[in-house]
Protein backbone atom coordinates (compact mmCIF):
# COMPACT_ATOMS: atom_id res chain seq x y z
CA UNK A 1 0.00 0.00 0.00
CA UNK A 2 1.34 3.41 -0.98
CA UNK A 3 1.66 5.80 1.95
CA UNK A 4 1.21 8.72 -0.45
CA UNK A 5 -2.10 7.25 -1.61
CA UNK A 6 -3.24 6.95 2.00
CA UNK A 7 -2.21 10.56 2.63
CA UNK A 8 -4.25 11.71 -0.38
CA UNK A 9 -7.31 9.89 0.94
CA UNK A 10 -6.88 11.23 4.49
CA UNK A 11 -6.49 14.78 3.15
CA UNK A 12 -9.67 14.28 1.13
CA UNK A 13 -11.53 13.24 4.28
CA UNK A 14 -10.10 16.18 6.24
CA UNK A 15 -11.07 18.58 3.46
CA UNK A 16 -14.67 17.34 3.55
CA UNK A 17 -14.90 17.66 7.32
CA UNK A 18 -13.41 21.15 7.28
CA UNK A 19 -15.51 22.27 4.31
CA UNK A 20 -18.72 21.20 6.02
CA UNK A 21 -17.80 22.49 9.48
CA UNK A 22 -15.97 25.78 9.02
CA UNK A 23 -15.34 26.30 5.30
CA UNK A 24 -11.57 25.73 5.44
CA UNK A 25 -11.58 22.56 3.36
CA UNK A 26 -10.01 24.26 0.37
CA UNK A 27 -6.45 23.99 1.68
CA UNK A 28 -6.29 20.22 2.32
CA UNK A 29 -8.29 19.61 -0.87
CA UNK A 30 -5.72 21.40 -3.00
CA UNK A 31 -2.85 19.64 -1.23
CA UNK A 32 -4.54 16.26 -1.85
CA UNK A 33 -5.02 17.01 -5.54
CA UNK A 34 -1.38 18.07 -5.91
CA UNK A 35 -0.14 14.98 -4.07
CA UNK A 36 -2.33 12.61 -6.10
CA UNK A 37 -0.10 12.84 -9.16
CA UNK A 38 3.01 11.94 -7.17
CA UNK A 39 1.19 9.02 -5.57
CA UNK A 40 0.17 7.69 -8.98
CA UNK A 41 3.74 7.97 -10.25
CA UNK A 42 5.01 6.16 -7.13
CA UNK A 43 2.57 3.29 -7.72
CA UNK A 44 3.42 3.08 -11.42
CA UNK A 45 7.16 3.06 -10.68
CA UNK A 46 6.77 0.21 -8.20
CA UNK A 47 5.70 -2.13 -11.03
CA UNK A 48 2.98 -3.78 -8.97
CA UNK A 49 4.67 -3.78 -5.58
CA UNK A 50 2.45 -0.95 -4.33
CA UNK A 51 -1.28 -0.45 -4.69
CA UNK A 52 -3.62 2.34 -3.67
CA UNK A 53 -5.24 3.61 -6.86
CA UNK A 54 -8.63 3.32 -5.17
CA UNK A 55 -7.47 5.53 -2.31
CA UNK A 56 -6.16 8.13 -4.74
CA UNK A 57 -9.47 8.11 -6.60
CA UNK A 58 -11.44 8.47 -3.35
CA UNK A 59 -9.19 11.31 -2.18
CA UNK A 60 -9.60 13.15 -5.46
CA UNK A 61 -13.38 12.76 -5.43
CA UNK A 62 -13.65 14.02 -1.84
CA UNK A 63 -11.32 16.92 -2.61
CA UNK A 64 -13.38 18.05 -5.60
CA UNK A 65 -16.58 17.75 -3.56
CA UNK A 66 -14.98 19.91 -0.86
CA UNK A 67 -13.93 22.51 -3.41
CA UNK A 68 -17.50 22.52 -4.71
CA UNK A 69 -18.91 23.05 -1.20
CA UNK A 70 -16.51 25.92 -0.53
CA UNK A 71 -17.34 27.52 -3.90
CA UNK A 72 -21.08 27.25 -3.21
CA UNK A 73 -20.62 28.76 0.25
CA UNK A 74 -18.59 31.65 -1.19
CA UNK A 75 -21.27 32.23 -3.84
CA UNK A 76 -23.96 32.22 -1.15
CA UNK A 77 -22.05 34.79 0.91
CA UNK A 78 -21.60 37.01 -2.15
CA UNK A 79 -25.31 36.83 -3.01
CA UNK A 80 -26.32 37.65 0.56
CA UNK A 81 -23.85 40.54 0.59
CA UNK A 82 -25.16 41.85 -2.75
CA UNK A 83 -28.77 41.63 -1.54
CA UNK A 84 -27.79 43.46 1.65
CA UNK A 85 -26.11 46.23 -0.34
CA UNK A 86 -29.05 46.54 -2.70
CA UNK A 87 -31.57 46.74 0.14
CA UNK A 88 -29.48 49.30 2.06
CA UNK A 89 -29.24 51.53 -1.03
CA UNK A 90 -33.02 51.60 -1.48
CA UNK A 91 -33.77 52.52 2.13
DSSP string, 27-61: HHHHHHHHHHHHHHHHHHHTTTS---HHHHHHHHH
Longest dimension (CA), the chain: 69
Residues 25-80: tens digit of each pLDDT = 999 999 999 999 999 999 999 888 988 999 999 999 999 999 999 999 999 999 99
Q: Say how many C-beta atoms besides its own lie within 10 A of residue 90's C-beta.
A: 6
91 has a pLDDT exceeding 70: no
pLDDT for position 88: 82
pLDDT at 61: 97
Amino acid sequence: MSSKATTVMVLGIVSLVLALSCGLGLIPAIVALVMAGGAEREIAASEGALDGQDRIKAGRIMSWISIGFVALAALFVLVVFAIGLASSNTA
